[in-house]
Structure 1
Amino acid sequence: MTIENAELTTEQVLRRDIPWETYMTTKLISGTDLQLLRRYDKMAERFKSQLLDDDGPAYIRVFVTILRDIFKDETVEYVLALIDEILTANPRRAKLFHGSAFSNEDTYEPFLRLLSKGNWFIQEKSCKILSLIVSARPSAQNGVDASNSKSKHNSTEDVLKSLVEWLCAQLRKPSHPSRSIPSAINCLATLLKEPVVRRSFVQADGVKLLVPLISPASTQQSIQLLYETCLCVWLLSYFEPAIEYLATSRALPRLIEVVKGSTKEKVVRVVILTLRNLLVKGTFGAQMVDLDVLQHVQNLKAQAWSDEDLLDALNQLEGGLKDNIKKLSSYDKYKQEVLLGNLDWSPMHKDPHFWKENINCFEENGFQILRVLLTILDTSNDARTLAVACYDLSQFIQCHPAGRVIVADLKAKERVMKLLNHDAAEVTKNALLCIQRLFLGAKYASFLQA
């Protein structure tokens, strides 16, 4: 579908002269409406603001009436531009759409209907305005929506669901090449504060649409899009079903890349707040340790930030990551990994504190874990497992006072020597380190590795 008025601006639209008298003659607006429009249209901003302070609901009612009853694009665009101008200057005026003047009207319907117009200017403004006014509705009382809009037309939940579906459609297949995605993300950053929107967004498979947008940015426009995307992810980090989606995506490594490369305080803040929320969820804590988030957090702490929320979140994240490293570096966890026979470079293997604190535990059950490591060298076909086993043997030799003697007595030398000709460089490197420590002792082997 060809989209109309893709490059039209609010300034261009507001320069138009709309024939309000003609609309009164054809009874599309009343005489009172015409008086209000004459008083308001083309006036200075200060004067308009005063009129809205004095009799805001009356002017909003006229605008909604026009959007409901008049279908000429130029007029619809003009009224949408007027409303957008009002809400941009003061977003709190969105509450005017929920006054007693609208007790018998559905204020959402005109904007919801206009989302389906093949006119980008109308779509974009309707989406923005609808997001703001639905978010400004009165709080629910006793579980019932307190908005004055008639529920028989569109319940608030139906409106939000329709709006989320439209926003997700824009993220999947943008109507406008450069403005659809920023507009959709901007609205979602407003709407995702609401549980019903989070639920609808997850059900519409919207979480995966955000992940590709989490990437380092340089221009002012792209930084704003990145910030609002990360704000959406932060809001979703309070919703368990969304967290499950995030866990199966590349959201975490992308967030870390953003925080490593961003100097914009608001971007760093929202990413760190998100990481703090995710730290205690599922396997996120372990993933953050593997991705060396602690080092990045400590680097950020060394910088001069003015935001107290950011500083508090950095401290909390640092403390939580250190706790996670301790849990991941526990001997019981290490023992379980070795007994399963499938080794990887989890934090404990290269953590000096782990070896220092737990080296005597290796003596349990007649050096059972050392014997299992040697069995792994004989039986495993996995290069990563063999490399880690060789490295762990070399760590034992280095850290245990009698490490060389014990490993030699267990006939480790022959097994490790065979691996010096392995096809995988990772295996041969760690087999060589083990042999060096076995033959030369920890001090000289470490010198050779330096």
Structure 2
Amino acid sequence: MTMDQAELSTEQVLRRDIPWETYMTTKLITGTGLQLLRRYDKKPENYKAQLLDDDGPAYVRVFVSILRDIFKEETVEYVLALIDEMLSANPKRARLFHDKSLKDEDVYEPFLRLLWKGNWFTQEKSCKILSLIVSGRPKSQDGAVANGASNSKKEITTINDVLKGLVEWLCTQLKKPSHPSRGVPTAINSLATLLKEPLVRSSFVQSDGVKLLIPLISPASTQQSIQLLYETCLCVWLLSYYEPAIEYLATSRSLPRLIEVVKGSTKEKVVRVVILTLRNLLHKGTFGAQMVDLGLPQLVQNLKAQAWSDEDLLESLNQLEEGLKVNIKKLSSFEKYKQEVLLGHLDWSPMHKDPVFWRENITNFEEHDFQILRVLITILDTASDPRTLAVACYDISQFIQYHPAGRIIVTDLKAKERVMKLMNHENAEVTKNALLCIQRLFLGAKYASFLQA
């Protein structure tokens, strides 16, 4: 693709003269289509607006049929520019594409095809138009085919096909943009609208899209980068209502990045959308504990002291502050321990060797089918840090000592082989704790403790 094509604007394209009559003589458009185009093309905006008010669906039919039947690049670009102009002037016109008179027209197919086939101008306009048409559809239509057609003999693109196709293209743009500076902003702008759709959320998560957003969450300075940051945070906020996406956010570096954005941002709309996201995540998994550790309570107090004009933002800050207070109270030693294990970075904090901690919390290890114990065992395979490995071995040996069925459970979870491997580790702290764990596993807690004494 040449940069000339990439940098085309709608205004430039609309200066072209398209030979509509030639298309009629070659039967690529009908006589009626030609009449409509002559009446509409190159006319003032208020005149076009009146034509669309009177006969909007007929114009949509002509535009879609040209995109379906004519492949000349200049003409395709021209019709996309006409549609873009019409929807930019009034986005509600997207409803015209869903008029009952178009129920046998496959209005989505040309745009979906052009997403992949055209130059950047064509791709960008197809994405924008498709996003608007999808968002403007009557929701009663879902589950049916695109325009409500049910008895049509030809295959018509379903809304599911459209949403999945769009998500695939948007994720491709985030990974490998078709345009160096506009590919990513175009994709994020569409996602900020489309992620309201449940199917888009699930397709986006299945396509591993969440991790593509994370690098874009960073403090911004220029007007363009602030808008991109805002729309990225808007995407994360929409995903914070969707459980599978929350699991992805939990295992990524999203939380520290969101907090850095709030610290470094003076734009009220950016701060608001991040605070709303944090409020949603507060009670999910270990987010609350992480927020406390990352110093969010103090940051919220600092933000409250600033003069914000948005009442919703102030209310959200108050709710977040209250939620964090509750969380700090709830953050028992086991919650802290659990967070440490789930983050995969273990150290000799006092609780590991505290008999009271193990006696009081041993039954908590049974939660979610021994989730924390399973993570400890996984750490033996995945961690490279010697301190983390040593503490994991020690904690598994503590579980064997304090849980009535500790030896059986640890054996069933196939921990023995993993610990045995670590007995040959180059680090003495690791080998010492791996040995203790194996002794407790084979000899029982009492004898192992006696040997250690």
TM-score (structure 1 length as normaliser): 0.73
Q: Is residue 2:263 matched to residue 1:254? A: no
- Equivalent residue, structure 2, for 1:322: 325
- 1:109 is the counterpart of 2:105: no
Partner of 1:242: 245
Tell me which residue corresponds to 1:66. Answer: 66
The equivalent of 2:448 in structure 1 is none
Q: Structure 1 residues 215, 4: CA separation in 2 closer, same or farther (over 3 Å shift)?
A: same
Provide the C-alpha distance between the structure 1 equivalents of 2:42 and 2:337, rounded to a whole number of angstroms: 77
Structure 1 residues 305, 5: CA separation in 2 closer, same or farther (over 3 Å shift)?
same
Partner residue in 2 for 1:194:
197
Per the alignment, residue 144 of structure 1 pairs with 143
Cα displacement (A) at 1:174: 0.8
1:50 equivalent in alignment to 2:53: no
Q: Which residue of 2 aligns with 1:420?
A: none
How far did residue 145 of structure 1 move?
Answer: 3.6
- Give the C-alpha shift of residue 219 in structure 1: 1.0
Other structure's SS at 2:117 match: coil
Aligned ranges 1:83-94 → 2 under 5 Å = 83-94=83-94
CA distance in 1, matches of 2:338, 2:226: 45
1:25 aligned partner, one-letter code: T
Match of 2:222 in 1: 219
- AA matched with 1:212: P
> For 1:33 and 1:3, how far apart are their aligned partners in 2?
33
Structure 1's 335 and 172: CA in aligned 2 closer, same or farther, altered over 3 A? closer
In structure 2, the residue matched to 1:206 is 209
Partners of 1:70 and 1:76 within 8 A in 2:
yes
Does 1:30 find its partner at 2:38? no
CA distance in 2, matches of 1:215, 1:29: 50
Q: Which amino acid aligns with 1:15?
A: R
Question: Aligned runs of 1:353-432 on 2, under 5 Å?
Answer: none
**How far is 1:101 from its partner?**
2.1
In the TM superposition, what is the alpha-carbon distance from 1:306 to its structure 2 partner?
2.0
Counterpart pick for 2:291 among 288, 292, 299: 288
Superposed, 1:331-350 pairs within 5 Å as 343-344=348-349
Report the residue type matching 2:163 in the other structure: L
Pick closer, same or farther for the CA change 1:150–1:334 going to 2, 3 Å.
closer
Structure 2-normalised TM-score? 0.72
The CA deviation at 1:140 is 2.7
Counterparts in 2 of 1:331 and 1:22: CA distance versus 1, 3 Å: closer
Cα pair distance change 1:105/1:4, threshold 3 Å: farther
* Structure 1 unaligned blocks of 5 or more: 347-361, 369-380, 386-450
Q: Distance in 2 between matches of 1:181 and 1:52?
A: 33
Q: Residues 182 and 149 (structure 1 numbering): CA distance in 2 closer, same or farther, change over 3 Å?
A: farther
The one-letter amino acid paired with 1:18 is: I
Structure 1 segments (4+ residues) deviating >6 Å: 1-4, 331-337
In 1, Cα distance between the equivalents of 2:336 and 2:319? 26
Q: Deviations over 1:352-404 (max 9, x none)?
A: xxxxxxxxxx9x9xxx9xxxxxxxxxxxx979x9xxxxxxxxxxxxxxxxxxx
Give CA deviations for 1:86-121 in whole Å, capped at 9, x if unaligned.
111211111110001211111100001111214111
* 3-state SS of paired residue (1:35): helix
CA offset at residue 144 of structure 1? 3.3
Contact 1:2 1:118 in 2 (8 A): no
Residue 333 to residue 42, structure 1, CA distance change in 2 (3 Å): closer
The answer on whether the counterparts of 1:77 and 1:121 sit within 8 Å (CA) in structure 2 is: yes
Structure 1 pair 53–229 and aligned structure 2 pair: CA distance change class (3 A): same
Indicate yes or no: 2:182 matched with 1:183: no
Verify the 8 A CA contact 2:135 2:194 in the aligned structure 1: yes
State the partner residue of 1:20: 20
From the CA coordinates, give the structure whose radius of gyration is larger. 1
Residue identity opposite 2:19 in structure 1: P
Unaligned 5+ segments in structure 2 are 340-345, 361-385, 391-453
Q: How many residues align?
A: 350
Percent of residue pairs identical: 76
Q: Distance in 1 between matches of 2:56 and 2:227?
A: 31
> 2:201·2:242 contact (CA, 8 Å) conserved in 1?
yes
